Amino acid sequence: MKQLKYLLLAVVVVLSIVGCRKDVEVSFDKTAQEMEAQGGSVEIALKSNGEWSISTVADWFTVSPMSGNGDATLTISAEANITGEVRSAQITASTKDNTATLTVSQNAQEYYLTVTPREIQCGSDGGEFTVTVSSNVEWRISMPQWITSSVTEGSNDTTVTLSVAPIAGELAEPRSGDVVFGNLFSTGEALVVSDQIHVIQTVDPVLGIELTPKNLEFVCTGEAKTVVVSTQDIWTASVEGSWVNLSQIEGQGETEIIVTVDENPFYVERRTSVLFSTAGGVEAMLSIRQEASIDPHFLEASPLEIEFGKEGGERAITIACDTDWEFHLESNWLSLSQLSGTGDATVVLTAEQNLVAEPRAAEFYIKSGLLFRTFTVSQAAGDEPIVGSFEPDTLLVTYVGGIQHVQLSSNCSWQLQASEWIRLDATVNSGQGDASLDIIIDSNSDPEERVGYLKAVHNGQVLCTLVVVQEGKPNILETDIAELDVPFEGGEYVIQVTSNQAWGVVADVDWLHCHPESGFASGSFTITVDASSALRPRTGYVKLRGELGAQVMIRVNQH
């Protein structure tokens, strides 16, 4: 009986607790939220006395956070609406007892332009890439010189193929740039509508190459030995000397090569090398030495190192040889009394006077069969000062740029340095003495004049400087008329435009219409004037605005 009493008491307590529980409420501080057509984020207040969660069926906006306990601030983030139509969806907040609904709506953009993808990455080989354009306006494309496009302008939705040029030679450095799709002007107020793709072109990683072993020794009778080429790249081999043969001269990856040398018919040791080069430009050298034949053929010469003062003079060279010999000398200030002979001999080497205040040096050699000896000659500096000059010393060039010819006069060695928009032929960026130079001036897209320099430098000191002055890009925007008189019945009038830039057209009244609304360089557009039903004089204006800032106003009088 006592247990039954406690059981009835427990039931009463539970029922009283259940009867007193408060429902979990939820509500928004508003019932509707309008989003900007171009997208963005807004904050909404949510009130609750318990746990809640968010549900939504739209894919064009997000809500954060999606769940919580108690009061909270929600962030709604919407994408740009390029569908051309107004769209809406509902956000529902739920608890275990109640729900609340918020309607989210978004207007369509009047003008839009988006491109996909927003970024392109490629290697040094470049390539072609497809771009999707979503738009409801006319547009055009601007891009770096190393990128080309299947079209340069268009309208509405389409696909475009971008071609990225390969990186090659001395230009093998990473580069990046933006491909901009834009329509600068739309009907009514000037409205910038544009999107862009960032293009990144990297230089492919360079693969190394190893030789095992790097040196080979052969007996005079000839023999074959093995070399292992280790690389992940494509490789080729070039041999100096017809007495060395390789089992293969090209391949890819790790390869075992048989190196075979012929018998040495000469009486001194001989040396040569095999150059292994990868497609990525990495090199490795295999050195080969073969011992001399036992037959005592010989070639000796003395001295092998010769010095002259600035005044020049003569030096005797003693030759010891048991067969024919010949000198190989290429110099404009050295000469030999005898270039070839047989057996022992004495030859006189003559050096001219050095007039330039710079020391000079040369090498030449004597050869007998495959035997040779190398001579090193040096001469002290003369008294004449080092000089250099450009002709002309100043260049005035148009904004278009192009190739310019200049003459460098000098009596010493030199290297060329230039401003970044002045480019040099890589084969003539250093030299000695006089030279004819071709320099390439890039076009100047800036309206401001710019000044650059080409310098000839000797041992860190500037010999002479060429000053290059390039005009800025002219700001040209003109029309063939400044004022237009139109009868009450209206009409169409073609306006001729002279320009060197992109331009857009805007009318300030609704009875004037322009087509097309934009253009590039010289061209034309048509002004259409509506008929006037009021038969009262009225005036409107059509404004042309160029991308470099120029403006032209055309007054239209209807009477």
Tens digit of pLDDT at every position of the chain (559 positions): 455 555 555 555 455 444 456 788 999 998 889 888 777 889 999 999 999 899 876 888 889 898 899 999 999 988 877 776 788 899 999 998 889 999 999 887 777 788 899 888 887 788 899 999 988 788 889 899 999 999 988 888 899 999 998 886 555 678 888 999 887 554 444 446 778 899 988 776 667 788 899 899 998 888 999 999 988 888 899 987 789 999 998 988 889 999 999 988 776 788 888 999 888 778 888 889 988 876 557 889 999 999 999 999 999 999 999 888 999 998 888 999 999 999 899 999 999 988 777 888 999 999 987 788 999 999 998 888 888 999 999 999 988 888 999 999 988 888 999 999 998 876 678 887 888 898 999 988 888 899 999 999 988 889 999 999 999 888 889 999 999 999 999 999 999 999 888 899 999 999 999 999 999 889 999 999 999 888 789 999 999 998 888 899 999 999 8
Question: Which residues face 229 on adjacent strands?
Answer: 211, 255
Which DSSP helix (H) or strand (E) runs through 209? none
The pLDDT of residue 456 is: 93
Question: Which residues face 342 on adjacent strands?
Answer: 324
Quote the longest CA-to-CA distance of the chain.
144
Q: Name the nearest CA neighbour of 289 among 390, 220, 372.
A: 220
Strands 523-529 and 551-558: unpaired
Spatial separation of the C-alpha atoms in residues 238 and 241, rounded to whole Å: 10
The token pair at 208 is 């190394």
Evaluate whether 19 touches 11 at the Cβ level (below 8 Å).
no
What's the one-letter identity of residue 73?
T
Q: Name the nearest CA neighbour of 361 among 347, 373, 374, 372.
A: 374
Evaluate whether 141 touches 161 at the Cβ level (below 8 Å).
no
Evaluate whether 380 touches 359 at the Cβ level (below 8 Å).
yes
Strands 483-486 and 461-470: unpaired
The pLDDT of residue 296 is: 56
Q: Count, in order, helices (H) and strands (E) of the chain.
A: 1, 54
Spatial separation of the C-alpha atoms in residues 516 and 213, rounded to whole Å: 73
The pLDDT of residue 169 is: 59
Residues 6+ apart with CB under 8 A from 12: none
Distances (CA, A) of 475 to 66, 302, 401, 452, 472: 55, 73, 17, 22, 9
> Other CB atoms closer than 10 Å to residue 136's CB: what's the count?
18
Q: Where would I find the H helices in 124-279?
A: none
